[in-house]
Chain A
Amino acid sequence: EPEVTQTPSHQVTQMGQEVILRCVPISNHLYFYWYRQILGQKVEFLVSFYNNEISEKSEIFDDQFSVERPDGSNFTLKIRSTKLEDSAMYFCASGQGIGAFFGQGTRLTVV
């Protein structure tokens, strides 16, 4: 069964450093998403991507964040100058319009 894969599963970084979270969406999907979930809290929308551009982003997704689809298969989330409050589980998802399918997540810990 096709699935969304994310790497790494866990990333520890120092405050102020840049991190890149990687995702390989399901191959025939057209819509891509990043979500985050702070421990004990709800799943929060960050950004959606369609037709090689951002289609929508939340207030959380400020200039510190960027997304890219560099080669037609990978989908990355870059966080510049990480802050302690960026510590969370980051989920990538992809879909065809009827539900979104999530990867297993990257746990980001900023120290």
Chain B
Amino acid sequence: RKEVEQDPGPFNVPEGATVAFNCTYSNSASQSFFWYRQDCRKEPKLLMSVYSSGNEDGRFTAQLNRASQYISLLIRDSKLSDSATYLCVGGPPTSGTYKYIFGTGTRLKVLA
């Protein structure tokens, strides 16, 4: 089983829509999680950290469910500029590892 799994999409949504991405992870010792955004042929950019209590940054809300080993990202009022690939990432400490483990990413296209 892959360490971090995501639905690759693409998710095609109209502007203004609300869209949710999910991610599951296999290593129950993972302690930190993140969402990154990657535009085509660019570097991954840190979008937000994910906490069990949930956290919100403007139109973006992230949630972690440790019992289910499940991470979510909700984007409200989608903009054309939100079109990108969203990467779910498990971070250290992960059983003593020093690495960030990336999912394959979920592609989002926001349509005018």
Contact = CB atoms under 8 A, between A and B. Distances in A.
Interface of A: 31, 33, 35, 41-45, 48, 50, 55-56, 58, 89, 91, 93, 97-105
B93 to A, nearest CB: 9
Contacts of B38: 43
A43 B44 contact: yes
Nearest to A43: B102
A48 B99 contact: yes
25 contacts: A35-B102, A42-B102, A42-B104, A43-B38, A43-B44, A43-B87, A43-B102, A44-B102, A45-B102, A48-B99, A55-B98, A56-B97, A56-B98, A58-B99, A89-B41, A91-B43, A97-B92, A99-B46, A100-B91, A100-B100, A102-B43, A102-B45, A103-B43, A105-B42, A105-B43
A45 B44 CA distance: 13
Contacts of A98: 32, 49
A93 B102 CA distance: 13
B21 interface: no
B9 to A, nearest CB: 14
Given A43-B38, A55-B98, 6 more contacts: A31-B98, A45-B99, A45-B102, A98-B49, A102-B45, A104-B43
